[in-house]
Structure 1
């Protein structure tokens, strides 16, 4: 085991932590917008729902079911050519945001759709009976009623994204996963690995606590 050098490690750690936060933040922001829009479209176009469209629903459902089961590692490898085309490189934190966004988008779409479907059908029917348009029912009844669970669902996804950024590190994506692999495992420096593990646990716990607090305030 190599002797741990704190002075040399700290700059690498802060850089890796920053890369993890960038990957998580950028991917989550983009995925939240895309995923929520997909979820609203899925919900509204369901058979028998506000804007029923069986073709649209079938296509969206198929695409989400096609992407969702594929492990992030496989998605990232499959999109290396696309990331090179978009970012000029297939490696690094910015390039990793593309597969992270795609995987998170479909996960958010499915989680949010589930929350929307759980809204009391009686409330939706009452809104429609009062003459509200389908779009108004969606934004004034369905979304507000499901907002608390939606925030908890988004919190689950952002935590999963932190885990995925660690996997991205194995593909040269940077971040804490890259630090643990190249400066911990490859050099048999297990102190580095444990510090990274602790940092990830603290980060995840912090994000979960923030999400829980926001959800509680909304539900109250």
Structure 2
């Protein structure tokens, strides 16, 4: 059975919807977490052993849970938030909880790449910790952060495909329902090609933005 163009376009839209919304909310979680993981660690500008000791293991625990298990485990929470555990919108809840901690580690690594001499110079000029974060640390790490967000977005595309296996919609659901279950090889091939093109497009765009920022 060959799948219609309408179904393919609908699946693409659902995938883009899940990726874009999850990226926004995941960034709102991951960026502050990543900053906190850096500035509260020992020897940094807002050193706080208690906060770091609490956040670090929480992020590690959340990152260690496979997405499929997380998706099933938080079904009651998903129902509480969106009123259902099935569908594209419902899939966004576990995706955000999955990608948030992942992004926080990527942001943390990007910020740790900033030369300590820049921070020391800012402190010597009398900059406050908040000024150091927003005027020195983040601007210096911006190219790396762009690449980190690009990596997270590509990861999101893969996660949304997995969400399709449990009724989340999108290209993953299309491949399972119309490809695997109905023995349509062409549907699976088309789905894979679209996913590859999406990943290539996101990576190329991320690389382009990163290069432009470095030249500024």
Smaller-chain TM-score bracket:
over 0.9
Partner of 1:213: 208
Match for residue 118 of structure 2 among 118, 123, 127: 123
Partner of 1:78: 73
Gaps of 5+ in 2: none
Give 1:51 shift: 0.7
Aligned ranges for residues 21-36 of structure 1 at < 5 Å?
A: 21-36=16-31
Partner of 2:108: 113
Q: Structure 1 runs of 4+ off > 6 angstroms? A: none
CA distance in 1, matches of 2:99, 2:212: 25
CA distance in 1, matches of 2:180, 2:132: 54
Give 1:60 shift: 0.7
Whether 2:7 is the aligned partner of 1:12: answer yes
Match for residue 146 of structure 2 among 145, 151, 154: 151
Match for residue 186 of structure 2 among 187, 191, 203: 191
Taking only aligned residues, the RMSD between alpha carbons, in angstroms, comes to 0.9
> Normalised by the size of structure 2, how large is the TM-score?
0.97
For residues 173-217 of structure 1, give each alpha carbon's deviation from its aligned partner in whole angstroms, at most 9, with x where no partner exists: 000000000011101011100000001011111111111101111
Q: Would you say how many aligned residue pairs link Structure 1 and Structure 2?
A: 215
Give 1:55 shift: 0.3
Give 1:67 shift: 0.6
> Normalised by the size of structure 1, how large is the TM-score?
0.96
Whether 2:52 is the aligned partner of 1:57: answer yes
Match for residue 97 of structure 2 among 99, 102, 110: 102
For residues 23-55 of structure 1, give each alpha carbon's deviation from its aligned partner in whole angstroms, at most 9, with x where no partner exists: 000000110121001111111111111111100
SS at match of 1:210: helix
Partner of 1:139: 134
